[in-house]
Amino acid sequence: MKSVALVSTITCPVCGHSKAEKMPTDACQWYYECESCKTLLRPLKGDCCVFCSYGTVKCPPVQEGEPCCSHKS
């Protein structure tokens, strides 16, 4: 059984500020406000959440090879 990381460091593409954040295991996180420049980050096209777009680690469902919330029908 593969270990799933629950912390990912999000880096703002606007100002470069980085912060380690705990990822939710029961929901997608579609929005994240940079605490430095206050930019509201949203997932990039093709990604299910802000962790998959801007984090050092993909979200828990993607790590497990499962579809994330926004990909479920």
Is 26 domain-assigned?
Answer: yes
What pLDDT, on the 0 to 100 scale, is given for residue 66?
83
Is 1 domain-assigned?
Answer: no
d(CA 28, CA 68): 7
Q: Which of 15-19, 46-50, 62-66 has the highest mean pLDDT?
A: 15-19
Is 43 domain-assigned?
Answer: yes
- Average pLDDT for 67-72: 60
| High-pLDDT (> 70) share of the chain, % | 90
d(CA 36, CA 73): 36
What pLDDT, on the 0 to 100 scale, is given for residue 15?
98
Total domain count for the chain?
1
| High-pLDDT (> 90) share of the chain, % | 68
**pLDDT of 28-59, one tens digit each?**
899 999 999 999 999 999 998 999 999 999 99
d(CA 24, CA 60): 8
Containing structural domain, residue 40: 7-61
